Amino acid sequence: MKPRLQTSALILCATVCCLIAGWMVGVSRAAEQSADCLDCHRQRNLNSNAGILSAQIFCYNCHQDPASHGDFRASKVSLQVKPEYFLKSPHRLVACIQCHRSVAQSPHRSLSGVKCVNCHPEFFGAAGTHSEHQRVRCEACHTDSPFVILDVANNEVKLSHTNSKLVPISLAEHKTTDVNQQEFCSRCHKPDNQVGAPVAVLPSKSFVCIACHYSPLRMGNPIFLIAIIIAIIGIIGTLIFWFKAGVQGEVSSVHRKFQLGSEVVWSKIFSKEFFPILKTVIYDILLQRRILANGVSRWFIHSLIFYSFFARFVLSFATILFQKIAPEAALTLTLVNKDSPFIATFNDLTGLFILAGVIWAMVRRFITKPEYVATQEQDTIALVIIGLVTFSGFVVEGTRILIAQIPEQVAMSAFAGYLMSRLFSIINIGWQSVYGYIWYTHALLWALFIAYLPFGKLKHIFTTPLSLLLNYKKE
């Protein structure tokens, strides 16, 4: 054989050998990585109860055995699943592999763990519980294990794989918690807990909190109900007083006054008059032209309070809409999370603006006292209530950041609240217990604001725009 031909044959043989060897290694690796049980075992029809129960029995073949175990930190941990517990759980008609999605393979282990959100939407609705527990993993509350820990590094509350003596424990029992029992909350909400929960189990916010916070469409604590009843009585009294006056020449029949009044409103809205009215809404109500005409500093003080409340209300309202329309969207999850950088900064900034406006107004009324500022008792009460509500809000936030041990890089976005938390950390007074009282103080102050709305100076929030609209023709 010629040397060139010999060399070529040798290279060809080597190439073929390399290709065959490479293919075999690849195949064996692929087989190792994706040896899926269901490649050979028949998949049950998981759309039927019979198929699901059959799939469960397949797993029970091993996992019902008390000797079934896994290795965790050099200790044996039971992996026995007891049907007597599982058959009472809400997931009794769910196949094991529908939750433990990555276990049907060799080697037989779960890489991703169970993710509740695969089936249950990430619902952080404002309806009380979930929105306040966003960093708490579902299983930390909804399973029966008493061992729950705060992972400070990941800002996450989750189930512990060890007990209080750091001995590995089994989490395979599948016992779910009855969330309607009172003691359910006290697993975490107890003195000296390690998961950053306040001792008191606090009620949800009320719908009246929407002026500043993303809140549920529910009444909340009874104090808000009392406040609303007082406010409604005040509003009805005001309306009765107003309707004692004549409307369009009618002086006796209230029915006729309503009829004539509503006819005027209708005829204004659905006519060319709508545009001058819109102009009044924009210039006089939104941009507050008439206050500006009285003085720049006066406009500035009022704007610090008005625009901050207005912006907070708009954002809270938009968050409710987003939450209802697209509960799982990234934007919604950002908006409902009060520790997200935007929301935390926005809340603190607007809160500081309100506080600055109140302090500035107080200084003008009691220290600098310009001639045109006529201090009345009603004005002072309104300013004090707004100031106290806002300040107590910062105290609540600071305490929350402190007791929840929110990591610095997260908490820094709420710059004022974070500063408060650092100040509070100097004083050791059991903030976990105090937090409930601070929260109720803030809530009571806001209830006072609501109840006082139709009686004092605060009613100008409604009466001034109404008066401006009725007199829209007067420049």
Partner 1 sequence: MSDQNVNQQVYWRFSVLQRTVHLIVMFAFIGVGLTGFSMALSSMAPARSFVWFLGGIDSVRYLHRCFAVTLYFCVVVEVLWVLYFKFLLRGKLLGPNSICFGFKDLNFFKEHIKYLLGIRATPPPFDRFAYWEKLDYWTLFIGMQTMGLTGILLWFPEFFSRFLPGVCINLAQVLHFDEAILAVLYKFFIHTTVRHLRPEVYPGDWTIFTGQVTKETIMRAHPGEWALMSENQQGAPVGDQ
Q: Where on the chain is the footprint of partner 1 (CB under 8 A)?
A: 121, 255-256, 259, 262-263, 265-266, 270, 324-329
Minimum Å gap between C-beta 248 and partner 1 is: 11
Minimum Å gap between C-beta 473 and partner 1 is: 22
Minimum Å gap between C-beta 123 and partner 1 is: 10
Q: Which residues contact 13 (CB under 8 A, 6 or more apart)?
A: none
**Residue 344 burial (10 A CB sphere; 0-12, 13-18, 19+):** buried
As a whole number of angstroms, the distance between CA 240 and CA 336 comes to: 40
* HSE value, Cβ hemisphere, 13 Å, CA-based, for 435: 25
Nearer to partner 1, 261 or 465 (CB): 261
**Residue 464 burial (10 A CB sphere; 0-12, 13-18, 19+):** middle
As a whole number of angstroms, the distance between CA 113 and CA 100 comes to: 7
Q: Give the chain's length.
A: 475
Nearer to partner 1, 90 or 107 (CB): 90
Minimum Å gap between C-beta 281 and partner 1 is: 20
Nearer to partner 1, 39 or 328 (CB): 328
Minimum Å gap between C-beta 126 and partner 1 is: 15
**Residue 201 burial (10 A CB sphere; 0-12, 13-18, 19+):** middle
The pair of three-digit structure tokens given for residue 118, joined into one six-digit string: 């695969």
The pair of three-digit structure tokens given for residue 15, joined into one six-digit string: 């190439």
Nearer to partner 1, 62 or 117 (CB): 117
Nearer to partner 1, 45 or 253 (CB): 253
User: Kindly report the CA angle at 407 between 402 and 409, in degrees rounded to 5?
Assistant: 120
Minimum Å gap between C-beta 425 and partner 1 is: 42
Nearer to partner 1, 325 or 426 (CB): 325
Nearer to partner 1, 29 or 324 (CB): 324
Torsion of CA 178, 180, 182, 185, to 10 degrees: 70
The pair of three-digit structure tokens given for residue 394, joined into one six-digit string: 């910062």
Q: CA distances (Å), 367 to each of 37, 78, 304, 375, in order? A: 81, 73, 20, 11
Nearer to partner 1, 32 or 328 (CB): 328
Minimum Å gap between C-beta 115 and partner 1 is: 19
Minimum Å gap between C-beta 266 and partner 1 is: 5
User: Kindly report the CA angle at 197 between 191 and 203, in degrees rounded to 5?
Assistant: 100
